Structure 1
Amino acid sequence: MKYFIYKVKDESGRTLSGVQQAENKNDVKRKVSKGKYYFISAVSISKEKLFSKSVTFETLIMFTHRLTTLIEAGIPILQAMTILWRQTEEETIQVVISYMRSELEEGNRISSALSKFPKIFPVVYTALIKVGEASGALPQVLRKLS
């Protein structure tokens, strides 16, 4: 299967970007058009290019702060990622959040998804998240990282 970066519009007309593994563009369209999204486009991307994406340090801090706030409010991680995906303006982090949502839906840990993007999430960041997951102290770890 290939990776595709896709664009959809939500019910409010806002454009969102994400990543989807699929055989072809039609498969992407079928998968992402379910529910409340209108499919716009999909472009194939290599695994290497996808996982080599980067963002600014400020974007990482903002992502961490927002995730921390949602988790501390008692929102489950998958729902928090969906909220972040919809609220984030920056396309690269939107795509990364989309990937993380997919990984969480498949039962994988957030630390596993983060580790795929070493240019965004430093090794120490990912290791601390992994410790937080294992110890049940994810909110506290996120607070320290933000």
Structure 2
Amino acid sequence: MSLYSYKAADGSGKIVKGTLDASDEKNAAGKLQDMGYLPIRITQSGKSGVDLSKSILSVFSRISTKDVMLFTQDLGALLQAGLPVDRALSVLISVTENDKFKEIIADILKAVQGGSYLSDAMAKYPKAFSNFYVNMIRAGEAGGVLESVLERLGVFLETSQELKDYITSALVYPIFLVFV
């Protein structure tokens, strides 16, 4: 058994945080659902490292790939749990820590509530959502498989973030040698 940290929504939509013992993430999600919670994010404790989102770096408040990745994974999980898109976006506004990204999600929510497609609302923010991302969302909406598309986009973004981190760490030593 491992210790897992979670963010979940209760029946009234209130966000709760905590930890629990489980054999894996799927088991942790099942335990949360048994407790009457809707899992939003589950991570193994000690796995994610230092969270810089509340540090002095957040003053610059740019939207990172990690922000979009977490948003994508969380939105997919909420939609798979049966929440409508507008309710899921409302929950994500309260969970998102980056203020600039929170404003973007709020604008997307307003557009969706006004009758726009999710993909059209996201297309207004090309610095946050690439053309590839928007077109994948559009295809998911058209095919009725938005939850599946979000899950795959989440995996894609996570893999690309890991690759970016790997390349960055691989280049640190050679750059250090050049300056020494």
* CA shift for structure 1 position 86: 1.2
In structure 2, the residue matched to 1:113 is: 121
Q: Which runs of 5+ in 2 are unaligned?
A: 1-13, 15-60, 155-180
Q: Does the 8 Å CA contact 1:111/1:127 hold for their aligned counterparts?
A: yes
TM-score of the aligned structures, taking structure 2 as reference length: 0.51
Whether 1:62 and 2:70 are equivalent positions in the alignment is yes
* CA shift for structure 1 position 92: 1.1
Where does structure 1 differ by over 4 angstroms across 4 or more consecutive aligned residues?
A: none
Alpha-carbon distance between aligned partners in 1 of 2:83 and 2:62, rounded to the nearest angstrom: 27
Within 5 Å, give how 1:8-47 maps onto structure 2: none
1:89 is matched with which residue: 92, 97, 120?
97
Q: Percent identity?
A: 31
Q: Which runs of 5+ in 1 are unaligned?
A: 1-11, 13-52
Whether 1:74 and 2:82 are equivalent positions in the alignment is yes
Q: Does the 8 Å CA contact 1:70/1:80 hold for their aligned counterparts?
A: yes
Q: Does the 8 Å CA contact 1:54/1:120 hold for their aligned counterparts?
A: no
In structure 1, the residue matched to 2:134 is: 126
Whether 1:100 and 2:101 are equivalent positions in the alignment is no
* CA shift for structure 1 position 89: 1.3
| RMSD between aligned residues | 1.5
Q: Does the 8 Å CA contact 1:54/1:119 hold for their aligned counterparts?
A: no
Alpha-carbon distance between aligned partners in 1 of 2:148 and 2:93, rounded to the nearest angstrom: 22
SS of 1:70's partner is helix
* CA shift for structure 1 position 87: 1.4
* CA shift for structure 1 position 54: 4.9
Alpha-carbon distance between aligned partners in 2 of 1:118 and 1:134, rounded to the nearest angstrom: 21
Whichever residue aligns with residue 88 of structure 2, its letter is: A
